[in-house]
Amino acid sequence: MIQVQFTLQAQSGAVTSELGSRSAQVDDAILSVLHALNASDIAQPGGERMLKDMVLSRINRILTTGKISAVYIDNIIVQ
């Protein structure tokens, strides 16, 4: 089981607004990344960095007004 809470850093107010209006697509993108990984992938050294990089890349692919510049993990439980 993987439970995680992210904070996304947007490059501009327009990106922040787009993230809000496309929240269902953002959630789906994050879930797609999480379903592609298992707990051991994240628990290994560098696993959290890999997760953040994958989320950043996946979300940036769907944005049209700009990009997110960082993904922060606020809370994570890996079992």
Domain residue extents for the chain: 2-78
Q: What is the pLDDT along the chain (79 residues), one digit of tens a residue?
A: 889 999 999 999 999 999 999 999 999 999 999 999 999 999 999 999 999 999 999 999 999 999 999 999 999 998 8
Give the sign of the dihedral formed by CA 3, CA 28, CA 67, CA 61. positive
Both tokens of residue 10? Answer: 């947007």
pLDDT of residue 79: 86
Integer Cα distance of 10 and 68 in angstroms: 4
pTM, full prediction: 0.94
CA 7 to chain centre: 8
Integer Cα distance of 19 and 63 in angstroms: 8
